[in-house]
A and B are shown apart, each in its own frame.
Chain A
Amino acid sequence: FAGLADVSISEDIPVEGEITVPVGSHSPDEDYSTLDEPVRDTIMRDLKAVGKKFVHVMYPKKSSALLRDWDLWGPLVLCVSLALMLQGGSADSKDDGGPQFAEVFVIIWFGAVVITLNSKLLGGTISFFQSLCVLGYCVLPLTVAMLVCRLVLLAGSGTISFIIRLIVVVAMFGWSTLASTAFLADSQPPNRKALVVYPIFLFYFVISWMILTFTPQ
């Protein structure tokens, strides 16, 4: 740069120009700014998403909406309500009663995480949270079964009520397993589908067992 040593810029030449931002049309990015909308809109949008997923679970068709926009609100609500309804199980001593709230919570979440890890280790293409979302939402039929069981138990706890509860729980268990299999089975390599479906079956079986053996105080 030795040749440029004697170059100088005169200070009395003004630098001028125009800095303008072309005003484009209404850009789509502005629609996603949710800071200015009323709180009611924000909450209702999330609630509608959760509700739409509930409907997807009750009528399991092969749709990718459940997988694409995963959220964990639904599973949380279902898990908490199921664990709350499983409270109040009879216990002669503290050790022999039904599952406590923390036990149900841990079983559901830990079980869902283990199944997700299992399907990913076997070579599945679904993402971690999508799988958790599907497994959590498919607990909905079993929560409905728990509700029905509690109502039936209010009427009485004899043999007939047990048979009704058994039929309801078995039906909902089948529904849960079929719903989650419909969503999850496609993302697995074809010769390992059974290896992935079996833990899901075991998971919902354990939850159904907890629901069926619930006896009120």
Chain B
Amino acid sequence: MAAVDDLKFQEFDDAANLLAANPDATTISIDEPAEISKNQHGRLQEPGREEDDELLGTDDSDKTELLAGQKKSAPFWTFEYYQTFFDVDTYQVLDRIKGSVFPVPGKNFVRLYIRSNPDLYGPFWICATLVFTIAVSGNLSNFFMHLGKPTYHYVPEFRKVSIAATTIYAYAWLVPLALWGFLMWRNSKVMNIVSYSFLEIVCVYGYSLFVYIPTAILWIIPQKVVRWVLVMFSLCLSGSVLVMTFWPAVRDDNRRIALATVGTIVLLHALLAVGCLAYFFDAPELDFPAPIIPAHNGTTVITKS
């Protein structure tokens, strides 16, 4: 029978002490993913690029990026796969909207807010809201503008809703698709540090359209100057979100191509705003046509309004 002493538990020394006793033993070391990413990031980073850290957000964005690859593991024909694109809480959506309306200069929207959790809730419902806001505001604005005229008969103009829906959804989905394809193509030629997935681009575009919703409501005011000031203002806000997102992605490229890409992004955004303003909102005439008022003694008096 073995002695009781032999059956006592033994404390194992930790790996360092064991290795010190036996330096030639074979060992396997498993690094944490974050440490690997930090090493790689340190190697790739050139000395003159400190501003990249600001643009790329805090350090643990690398960790979340690598962990994100483990999230969407359901096959694409199951419902759970699509649920991963709606994995946001109310406060996250509100934060992202706030980030698109008040762009912080120097902070990248994708790195700061999306952080490898792109959602489809925001883009889809912001586009839907924008469609109906533009249609309703356009209708209201035309109604108020033509209110006094005897020849005007109010029509709900319901067909414009479907046109608005097609335009805005096409913009919010096809332009990101084209941009993503273009960035992939350039990435194959020039090694970029920053690259975005398709969903992240869709997310940025969707949230950047949010500032057009209050703009569309304010477009009811029938003053040309007010409307154009609003266009400029909202274009600056949402354009700056887009520019700050995509400038780090194309900056390593040929200077002219980078500028052309960013210029095209802003131009398309401006076209959307101006096109919506022109199509859905009738231009306020500078001079209203003089109404003819029958006077008391039967003669008609033409007055200028």
Using a CB–CB cutoff of 8 Å, the interface residues on chain A facing chain B are: 89-92, 95-99, 103, 118, 120-123, 191-195, 198-199, 202, 205-206, 209-210, 213-215
A194 and B89 CA atoms in complex are apart in Å by 9
Determine if B158 and A98 form an interchain contact, defined as CB atoms under 8 angstroms apart.
Answer: yes
Given A195-B121, A202-B129; A121-B82 close (CB under 8 Å) = yes
Determine if B154 and A96 form an interchain contact, defined as CB atoms under 8 angstroms apart.
Answer: no
Determine if B129 and A103 form an interchain contact, defined as CB atoms under 8 angstroms apart.
Answer: no
Residues in A with CB closer than 8 Å to B238 are: none
Interface string of B147-185 (1 = CB under 8 A from A): 000000111111100000000000000000000000000
- Using CB atoms, name the residue of chain A closest to B154: A215
Which A-B residue pairs are the 5 nearest by beta carbons?
A121-B86, A213-B156, A96-B155, A191-B89, A194-B90
- Using CB atoms, name the residue of chain A closest to B85: A121
A91 and B241 CA atoms in complex are apart in Å by 42
A119 and B146 CA atoms in complex are apart in Å by 41
A199 and B127 CA atoms in complex are apart in Å by 12
Residues in B with CB closer than 8 Å to A214 are: 156
Using a CB–CB cutoff of 8 Å, the interface residues on chain B facing chain A are: 79, 82-83, 85-86, 88-91, 93, 121, 125, 128-129, 132, 136, 139, 153-159
Residues in B with CB closer than 8 Å to A192 are: 88-90
Shortest distance from the beta carbon of B150 to any chain A beta carbon, whole Å: 15
Determine if A92 and B155 form an interchain contact, defined as CB atoms under 8 angstroms apart.
Answer: yes
Determine if A193 and B90 form an interchain contact, defined as CB atoms under 8 angstroms apart.
Answer: yes
A217 and B125 CA atoms in complex are apart in Å by 34
Determine if A195 and B155 form an interchain contact, defined as CB atoms under 8 angstroms apart.
Answer: no
- Using CB atoms, name the residue of chain B closest to A214: B156
A90 and B158 CA atoms in complex are apart in Å by 11
Residues in A with CB closer than 8 Å to B90 are: 191-195
A194 and B155 CA atoms in complex are apart in Å by 34
Residues in A with CB closer than 8 Å to B88 are: 192, 195
Given A192-B90, A195-B90; A118-B121 close (CB under 8 Å) = yes
- Give 11 A-B contacts (CB < 8 Å), ordered by A residue: A90-B154, A118-B125, A120-B79, A122-B121, A191-B90, A192-B90, A195-B88, A195-B121, A199-B125, A209-B132, A214-B156
- Using CB atoms, name the residue of chain A closest to B86: A121
- Using CB atoms, name the residue of chain B closest to A98: B156
Determine if A96 and B85 form an interchain contact, defined as CB atoms under 8 angstroms apart.
Answer: no
Determine if B121 and A97 form an interchain contact, defined as CB atoms under 8 angstroms apart.
Answer: no
Residues in A with CB closer than 8 Å to B157 are: 96
Determine if B155 and A122 form an interchain contact, defined as CB atoms under 8 angstroms apart.
Answer: no
Determine if A89 and B83 form an interchain contact, defined as CB atoms under 8 angstroms apart.
Answer: no
